[in-house]
Amino acid sequence: MTGKTLLLVEDDLEVQDFNTLLLEHEGFTVVAAATLTEARDKLENGLQPDAIILDIGMPDGSGLDFMPHLRETSKIPVLMLTGYTANEDVVRGFKSGCDDYLTKPYDFSVLLMRILRLLERAEQVPDRVVKGRLVLYPMSNQAFVGNKDLLLAEKEFNLLLLLTQFENNIISVEYLYEKIWKLPMIDNSSAVRKTVSRLRDKLEGSGCVINTERGGGYSFTSNQDLQ
């Protein structure tokens, strides 16, 4: 898969050089950063990588803390490549918002396959989703009604995007919670209910409705004539 750009955030310069060499041999353009600050600066100054390979233990902080800030503005796929191998570390990685997690030591062929899978999944995400007067931009987590930015929080955006993907179908509260919060629901349906309530207020005038369904669950409908 040539022509793709990777941001490699790795403070071990031997690992950084080794992965850069092999990934460039596979046709990738690799931009390396040895600190989180350097990675953040590159992103803020216009770098738009197709995927990020991120270490957790960095000299100026934790990759786990870097992820929430990244997810506020971007859905760039992230593979955590780290020496943190305990199950609780893996869980924390996924909770922080990463898309995949690979522990060191690793075989380069496995790393390459994980990256290719990430990129394949990312290519399946549309540039935008249009429903009535509502327009969603999945890569930037932005939603507009006409020219008005709805200023959605991350979970609000992800929940709305998921509902649009199942338009006119009933989705259970449990499914929504486990997909968006990435935890077993147990007895916490109020989180979904409150998020839906906020979305309904923000969707006013969009031609889109989130319906509460008998038996529990929600469905999304839109008026395409309002585009």
Residue with tokens 């997810």: 71
Q: Using one digit for the tens of pLDDT, what is the confidence trace for 169-181?
A: 889 998 899 888 8
Residue-wise pLDDT tens digits, 70-82 = 887 788 899 999 9
Which pLDDT does position 206 carry in this prediction? 92
Q: What is the pTM of this model?
A: 0.60
- Nearest partner of 202 among 147, 130, 148, 131, judged by Cα: 148
For residue 58, the surrounding DSSP H or E stretch is strand 57-58
Angle at CA of residue 155, ends 154 and 157, nearest 5°: 65
pLDDT of 19 above 60:
yes
pLDDT greater than 90 at residue 127: no
Which range, of 120-124, 188-192, 193-197, 198-202, averages the lowest pLDDT? Answer: 120-124
User: Residues of 48-79 as b/e, b for ≥16 C-beta within 10 angstroms?
Assistant: ebbbbbbbbebeeeebbebbeebbeebbbbbb
* 187 — pLDDT class (breaks 50, 70, 90): low
- CA pair distance 12, 18, nearest whole angstrom: 10
Q: Residue 22 — pLDDT band, cuts 50, 70, 90?
A: very high
Domains and CATH numbers, the chain: 5-123 (3.40.50.2300), 129-226 (1.10.10.10)
